[in-house]
Amino acid sequence: MTTLLEIRNLHVSYGNVEALHGIDLAVEAGEIVTILGANGAGKSTALHAVSGLLRPTGGEILFDGQPLHRLPAHRILRAGISQSPEGRRVFGTLTVRENINLGAYTVRDQALAAKNRKWIYELFPRLEERQHQLAGTLSGGEQQMLAIGRALMSRPRVLLLDEPSLGLAPLLVQAIFQTIREINAAGVTVLLVEQNARAALRLAHRGYVLELGHITVSGPADELLADPQVRDAYLGGA
């Protein structure tokens, strides 16, 4: 397998406070990799550094062997990395279709944009049904579908997902995670930040556990599910 995304000795600070203390992480092409950890561990910080929303204070981020860490966010998106943010961040006063189209602002080819939109509606039929509805009137689950759909409009090679299950009922979480599996099967590599550790490890190929800005455990997802340390800390000891 080819390493598509690589983080080497990454340091990220907010002012004088360092949030990531030199983490290393790799994502192979075609994988789903999850980052687990408690609130404040640095999970979202890691994603924001990859997507260009935060500038690292040290280390490297490589995409297909090319350095990303000095590029602005819009160049990273053009390179093939797209993010669905924590909290969904849909534009409530725009329609579902308008929100989706915003995700295509780097796509010059209108036929390609139409093809991508068709694919998103196949993944999330509810969005097609509600395409003329204002995004602010959607349920939480539908807004999460919309946030993921918008991120897919640029047909990224890597999709960054930040807490997709947050605030959703268990059945909806199951549906969203099944769709993430389908997105991955369509050739999109996924880096997932998720507090629902059990669901994330059942979905992912590999995982990393982040604690206070350090990676403490990493390995295949099934090994992490069986690891007593991970089980006690993140899986309720079950």
Q: Domains along the chain?
A: 1-80+157-163+188-238 (3.40.50.300)
Sign of the CA dihedral running 122, 139, 202, 53: positive
pLDDT at residue 88 in the model? 66
* Residue 193, Ramachandran bin (φ over 0: left; ψ between -120 and 50: alpha; else beta): beta
C-alpha separations of 233 from 102, 167, 205, 237 in Å: 39, 21, 20, 7
- Residue whose token pair is 């097609």: 128
pLDDT at residue 173 in the model? 86
Q: 39 burial class (0-12, 13-18, 19+ CB within 10 angstroms)?
A: exposed
**What are the tens digits of pLDDT across the range 53-85?**
999 999 999 999 999 988 999 899 889 999 887
pLDDT at residue 182 in the model? 94
Torsion of CA 122, 86, 60, 221, to 10 degrees: -70
pLDDT along the chain (238 residues), means of 10: 92 93 96 92 93 94 92 90 81 85 78 88 91 89 89 93 86 89 96 91 95 94 92 68
pLDDT at residue 237 in the model? 45
Quick one: which H or E segment has residue 111? Answer: helix 110-123
**What are the tens digits of pLDDT across the range 78-98?**
899 998 877 668 877 888 988
Cα 83 from Cα 75, distance rounded (Å): 13
pTM of the predicted structure, to 2 decimals: 0.91
pLDDT at residue 114 in the model? 87
pLDDT at residue 87 in the model? 60
pLDDT at residue 238 in the model? 42
